[in-house]
Structure 1
Amino acid sequence: MTLRPIHALIGAALFTSTLLAGPAFAQTLHRGNAGEPQTLDQARTSVNIEAFVLKDLYEGLTIYDPNGKIVPGAAESWQVSDDGTVYTFKIRDAAKWSNGDPVKAEDFVFSMRRIQDPKTAAPYANILYPIKNAEKANKGEVPLDQIGVRAVDDKTLEITLERPTPFFIELLAHQTGLPVHPATVQAQGDNFVRPGVMVSNGAFKLTEQVTNDHITVTKNPEYWDAANVKLNEVIFYPIDDAAAAQRRFQAGEIDMTFDFAADQLDFLKKEFGDQVRVTPKLSTEYYAFDTRTAPFDDVNVRNALSMAIDRDFLSKEIFQGARLPSLSFVPPGIVGYEKPSEPTYASMDQLDREDEALRLLKDAGYGEGGKPLNISIRYNTNTNHERVATAIADMWRTQFGANVTLQNSDVASHYAYLQEGGTFNVARAGWVADYADAENFLALTTTGNKTFNYSKWSNPKYDRLMAASYEEQDPAKRAEILHQAETLILKEQPIVPLLNSASLWLVSNKVSGWGDNAADEHLSKYLSVNR
């Protein structure tokens, strides 16, 4: 995801006026946000700095709690049909919009149709494609009223899916699942996002937005759970300069801030201790082997090259611990999947892995006395990616005497080449979860995934396991199937997991209610400030 750059920072006068505000001071949370939102329209949102604000203003059918667990939101409960294709939601009787209107099932019907309307051009419309006819409607192939959402009555919403989608509840917690107030959108058009115009159903309502300066949201007294919302006000500051955000946190001008500079990690830990939050997020950086070309069609070669990579070195020396070593494709922290699967060599220390790697490579006919090992590493242009590629190239040269070259291109060209099926030896890639489910990672390497299966690996057993995971409705049994799939891909190593990215936050010890979680969800409704 790309954040739009901004160039204005918050003036000291703004902080002074806020800090002198009197009794409300103790109930105001100052949040540093890593950039200026391009939109507060949930249909057009695309980045996390927008989602942080939107999810304070609006509430979907489901939400994340402080620990990253899906819990009821605007819907107090739901039922799923035996075949897993029909979800029936009971909207809370107490759910209201900020203008006092009741939240109705028809509001969600309107909102989901709006997301799929081709005229809306929602960048994340695909998140709701599991809904029957949603994709067809988004492509203009069927009318919007054929999408599988209907209001049974004012407080009962029925959603019909194309096929069983066990992670559908997680999808509804995405910002594209947030409702809009139909009457306001119809009357105001694009202006519905403005302060004083916006009608929202979340814990807060929009009261002020000064571009490149701040966004203020205040407690929504009509919110169904307002009695448990401790904050009167949240002020978001769009500080895209990480160093500036760090200085303002150090000065006590902001209570929490997102995405500080990774090279400051050690310094900040010494100064602020556990106020520095480093949490693995749902993302994996990895290398893909082109399994169509020798010697990368040989599982022994792939495993040997993977085992020779010292991931601890990459984490500590290149990223100062801001990215974490990983041997698993699925990142940790997914509720219900628990600890990801690992390859058999996970329990070995690095020296033993390297010894085993030499044996595997020799068995494949390469290394000392064998055929020469020539490797080209492709990566998208970026200083950190270059440093990782250089380090891994040195490891392969040192361990195997390999002839390793590097090839870089801009990010658009790099991924276009991979997605269009271009041949390569080894290529860098990364994936950030669209939703908190292991399937979002494991589906990348199925035979049928022509776009993201960069390695062009094909394994019928793996495909059968993934197909079975879509049909299995029991969460524990489904998790076991997905673990079997991950174990298989780690045995075959068409991809080489390297690192998990981390969410980097500075959170004052004056803030209560914070929870580290891999989904990186931190609703202000759960937070309070003790000054």
Structure 2
Amino acid sequence: MLAALLLCPAHFCAAESRLSVGNGNEPETLDPQRVEGVSASNIVRDLYEGLTSLSSRGEVVAGAAERWEVSPDGREYRFQLRAQARWSNGDPLTAEDFADGLRRSVDPATGSAYAQMLAPIEGATEVMVGARQLRELGVEVIDAQTLIIRLSSPRPYFLGLLSHPSTFPIHRPSLERWGKDFARPGRLVSNGAYTLESWTPQSSIRLKRNRYYWNDARTAIDTVVYQPSEDSNTELKRYRADELDVTYEIPLQQAPWLRQHYGQDLHVSSYLGTYFYGFNCSRPPFKDNPKLRRALTLAVDRQVIVDKVMNGLALPAYSLLPPGLSGYTPQRPEWADWSRERRLAEARRLYAEAGYSEQRPLEVELRYNTHEDHKRIATVVAAMWKQWLGVRTTLLNEEFKVFIQNRNLRKITQLFRAVWIADYDDPTAFTDILHSSHGQNDMAYSNPDYDSLLALAAAEADSERRRQHLAQAEQMLLRDQPLLPIYTYTSKHLVKPWVQGWQDNPLDIHYSKDLRIVGRPGEAAR
């Protein structure tokens, strides 16, 4: 007893505070420069911290950098790191670590799907195509705590971008020792509020509180357990059994029942994300065939999908860009306001002009990752195409990693389920992924005029002229139709009443360090 009292100055040992989170698909990696999916990014944001971070409301706040200065022309950012910042093994966190992370993201050898997002940094585009050396990237280490980042032109969203995993620092000794396999339990050294304790594939990823984190004193939760699941009904059962404190999503078919029985736990909020089908524009039948792409787009009744499949928990989408973006209203195609009959008549006309008919129907494969809601939406869309155009659609569901691999290769895909969630609050968070060289352009869309409009917007300091360039680019996407928008997201989570600090926000980003457990049965308040 005496030993116990000596170890616990407060004369008792508080129970460990644990948060259990449903997290969708099994993460593809926890390497910050190579992460792609939302579920992996959720975990990486707990493990690492960027120069900037986000508040619980989604606003940009200081992260590993305690302050920064921006030059009058908006092209140079000078960051001062926190002197007390450390890696999870106790090593000092330095400006060089952030410079290494940025260089690694744009290094072609890394294969980062988000490399193009860092194109605003001076020299990044040339580095990505091998025309300049990594050391020529526009980042300069002044001293251990001071980093300068130079941009090729002003970007109003740049501070928000620096909260994205692709900009996170890298622990060079770990990378040098383990190579691409460094992001594993027992190897990964991180600088965020948590460290990686264990990873059991298809079961759980367990994080432990990082006692070296500069703001550990304000972290309330000791352990975070992420549980992957591709079945939202199974996730709901875990939640009802108190095995989960937060769900990744909800089963759409259960929405009315959940509103009635779990109304106080249900969080539904606007979300900067779009669900769509991507056309592979690099191979038949969609290569050089915008009329066929437009025909299939017009034949989909989005309102039916939102009302019947989504139970009203979404909005019909007519463009890749969702509503709610700061300072920008998405373009609305003319046909969005047509009657259903007029849309179908135009769809049939374009379908015939593309070379298809009842006697020669389109036969196409639609791929989606394994999930009951994706299957339901694909089944409904295929039925619409069959009824109105005579299209014969083969539905192919694939395990998430296989699905992503096939999408990236582009060799066998024709049509595939996709989603894009904003990484920062700006129209370019969406328009840039259709740039011909972007790592997430699985549609293989390539239009020099579109790329030029993005370049004009990137170089434009005047906000109104920049907005006009982006609006022109969006109009071009609506004309070329490299993708089929279906709905814009709302975030949908169940959150236990004892999870405090949760705030709905348009980016749907929630750091575990900002939460606390208060009043859970059997657990002491922290």
TM-score (norm 1): 0.73
After superposition, where does 1:238-253 map in structure 2 within 5 Å? Answer: 238-253=228-243
Q: In the alignment, what sits opposite 1:332?
A: 323
Q: In the alignment, what sits opposite 1:499?
A: 487
After superposition, where does 1:459-478 map in structure 2 within 5 Å? Answer: 466-475=454-463, 478=466
1:439 maps to a residue whose letter is: T
Displacement of 1:60 after TM fit? 0.8
Q: Aligned pair 1:285/2:273, yes or no?
A: no
CA distance in 1, matches of 2:182, 2:412: 43
- Alpha-carbon contact 1:380-1:414 (below 8 Å) kept: no
Q: Aligned pair 1:318/2:318, yes or no?
A: no
Structure-2 change in CA distance of 1:305 and 1:61 (3 Å): same
Summarize deviations over 1:162-198 as a string: whole Å, max 9, x none.
5555544344322122213334544666675455664
SS of 2:262's equivalent in the other structure is helix
Q: In the alignment, what sits opposite 1:404?
A: 390
After superposition, where does 1:42-121 map in structure 2 within 5 Å? Answer: 42-81=32-71, 84-117=74-107, 120-121=110-111
Displacement of 1:275 after TM fit? 2.0
SS of 2:93's equivalent in the other structure is coil
Q: In the alignment, what sits opposite 2:167?
A: 177
**RMSD (Å), alpha carbons:** 4.6
CA distance in 2, matches of 1:458, 1:214: 42
More displaced stretch, 506-515 vs 76-85 = 76-85
Q: Aligned pair 1:145/2:129, yes or no?
A: no
- Alpha-carbon contact 2:358-2:390 (below 8 Å) kept: no
CA distance in 1, matches of 2:200, 2:390: 48
Displacement of 1:105 after TM fit? 1.0
Displacement of 1:256 after TM fit? 0.9
After superposition, where does 1:378-527 map in structure 2 within 5 Å? Answer: 378-382=364-368, 383-384=375-376, 386-393=378-385, 397=388, 403-408=389-394, 430-433=418-421, 435-436=423-424, 437-443=426-432, 466-475=454-463, 478-479=466-467, 481-483=469-471, 485-486=473-474, 497-527=485-515
Number of matched pairs: 485
CA distance in 2, matches of 1:137, 1:310: 44
- Alpha-carbon contact 2:320-2:430 (below 8 Å) kept: yes
CA distance in 2, matches of 1:493, 1:191: 39
SS of 1:515's equivalent in the other structure is coil
Displacement of 1:114 after TM fit? 3.8
CA distance in 2, matches of 1:38, 1:450: 16
1:442 maps to a residue whose letter is: T
Summarize deviations over 1:409-436 as a string: whole Å, max 9, x none.
767899699x7999x9xx6764514633
Structure-2 change in CA distance of 1:161 and 1:283 (3 Å): same
Q: In the alignment, what sits opposite 1:400?
A: none
Displacement of 1:112 after TM fit? 2.8
Q: In the alignment, what sits opposite 1:4?
A: none
TM-score (norm 2): 0.73
Q: Aligned pair 1:528/2:516, yes or no?
A: yes
- Alpha-carbon contact 1:166-1:473 (below 8 Å) kept: no
SS of 2:169's equivalent in the other structure is coil
Summarize deviations over 1:129-171 as a string: whole Å, max 9, x none.
5434446556666543233322012222122345555544344
Q: In the alignment, what sits opposite 1:3?
A: none
More displaced stretch, 446-455 vs 216-225 = 446-455
1:522 maps to a residue whose letter is: H
Q: In the alignment, what sits opposite 1:32?
A: 22
2:385 maps to a residue whose letter is: A
Summarize deviations over 1:211-246 as a string: whole Å, max 9, x none.
245444333344333343332332333445543322
- Alpha-carbon contact 1:311-1:326 (below 8 Å) kept: yes
CA distance in 2, matches of 1:117, 1:452: 18
CA distance in 2, matches of 1:222, 1:135: 36
Correspondent of 2:339 among 353, 358, 372: 353
Q: Aligned pair 1:23/2:14, yes or no?
A: yes
Structure-2 change in CA distance of 1:182 and 1:320 (3 Å): same
CA distance in 2, matches of 1:446, 1:118: 17
Summarize deviations over 1:374-429 as a string: whole Å, max 9, x none.
9747452454454243343367x3xxxxx432344767899699x7999x9xx676
Displacement of 1:523 after TM fit? 0.8
SS of 1:23's equivalent in the other structure is coil
The share of aligned pairs that are identical, in percent, is 31
Displacement of 1:478 after TM fit? 3.4
Summarize deviations over 1:42-86 as a string: whole Å, max 9, x none.
234333332222211210112232233333321233344455544
2:103 maps to a residue whose letter is: R
Summarize deviations over 1:238-278 as a string: whole Å, max 9, x none.
44554332222101122112144433333333321242334
Q: In the alignment, what sits opposite 1:15?
A: none
CA distance in 2, matches of 1:450, 1:221: 36
CA distance in 1, matches of 2:111, 2:477: 36
- Alpha-carbon contact 1:510-1:530 (below 8 Å) kept: yes
Displacement of 1:484 after TM fit? 5.6
Structure-2 change in CA distance of 1:253 and 1:296 (3 Å): closer
1:332 maps to a residue whose letter is: P
Q: Aligned pair 1:230/2:216, yes or no?
A: no
Displacement of 1:199 after TM fit? 3.7
2:143 maps to a residue whose letter is: D
CA distance in 2, matches of 1:116, 1:446: 16
Displacement of 1:516 after TM fit? 2.6
Structure-2 change in CA distance of 1:233 and 1:333 (3 Å): farther
Structure-2 change in CA distance of 1:73 and 1:250 (3 Å): same
SS of 1:24's equivalent in the other structure is coil
Structure-2 change in CA distance of 1:244 and 1:388 (3 Å): closer
CA distance in 1, matches of 2:345, 2:360: 18
Q: Aligned pair 1:211/2:200, yes or no?
A: yes
After superposition, where does 1:291-302 map in structure 2 within 5 Å? Answer: none
Structure-2 change in CA distance of 1:528 and 1:485 (3 Å): same
SS of 1:517's equivalent in the other structure is coil
After superposition, where does 1:121-140 map in structure 2 within 5 Å? Answer: 121-122=111-112, 124-134=114-124, 137=127
CA distance in 2, matches of 1:448, 1:117: 14
Structure-2 change in CA distance of 1:156 and 1:385 (3 Å): same
